[in-house]
Amino acid sequence: MEKISDFTVRRLSSYYRILSDLEQKKVLTISSAKLAEFGGITSAQVRKDLSYFGNFGTRGLGYNVSELKNEITRILGLNQTWGMALFGAGSLGNALFFHQGFRDDGFFFRYLFDVDLGKIGTKWGNLEILAVDKAKEVLKRDPVDIGVITTPKEAAQDIVDLAVEVGIKGILNFAPRELVVPEGVSLRNVNLAVALESLSFSLSI
């Protein structure tokens, strides 16, 4: 398969959300022009993105909303569940843990780890926070797919190394630090400071 850019993947996520909305509103078909309008892009972009994966439309009519949503669900791997481990049980981790939208999409936290003795042994919902020292043993016995890092930046690389060692193949990092992962492991960074600083830049000029 042709190499798919992250730009395309992020737009697929956007289409997925738009189609979910439309499906709920009982809209049956949609043109690339309409979909583009909702996503704030061009219709050529929509058709190009979809064309990497197949011919989902009907000339003259457009796309069937439910069908296209199902195709994108499959493409994005959202037709299955993903097990996650959270490293760093702080307030950001807490917000992510209780975020219903992730569960709806099939992303479940299965383990919570922290270094804070005051937190270890306490529960979020009915999931206990474990000592990060136990993580290697626990995750080797019972692997997860994705590691979510909400530790302070100083700890982040060590956690990545641990995650890689226990076979985690996807990492979502919130720590504001450049991280190194080996070939075959996917890393996505969410840096809230960058978003604010980019706003600050726009407001300054």
Partner DNA sequence: TAGATTGTTAATCGATTAACAATC
Question: Applying CB under 8 A, which residues contact its own copies?
Answer: 1, 4, 6, 9-10, 12-14, 16-18, 38-40, 75-78, 82, 90-92, 94-96, 98-99, 101-102, 105-107, 145-146, 169-172, 176-178, 186, 188, 190-205
Query: Which of helix, strand or coil describes residue 184?
Result: coil
The CA R_g of the chain, rounded to the nearest whole Å, is 20
Beta-carbon count within 10 A of 129 CB = 20
Spatial neighbors of 176 by CB under 8 A, at least 6 apart, are: 153, 191, 193, 194
Q: Which is nearer to DNA, 165 or 197 (CB)?
A: 197
* Chain CA centroid to CA 97, Å: 13
Task: Tell me which of its own copies, DNA, none is bound by residue 90, counting a contact when its beta carbon lies within the kind-specific cut-off of 5 to 8 angstroms.
Answer: its own copies
Choosing from 9, 21, 48, 136, the residue that interacts with DNA (CB under 7 A) is 48
State in angstroms the smallest separation of the CB of 60 from DNA.
2
What is the pairing mode between strands 29-30 and 62-64?
A: antiparallel
Task: Tell me which of its own copies, DNA, none is bound by residue 55, counting a contact when its beta carbon lies within the kind-specific cut-off of 5 to 8 angstroms.
Answer: DNA
State in angstroms the smallest separation of the CB of 165 from DNA.
29
Choosing from 31, 64, 70, 189, the residue that interacts with DNA (CB under 7 A) is 31
DSSP E strands in the chain: the ranges are 29-30, 57-58, 62-64, 82-87, 107-114, 123-124, 127-131, 146-149, 170-173, 186-189
Choosing from 41, 92, 127, 155, the residue that interacts with DNA (CB under 7 A) is 41
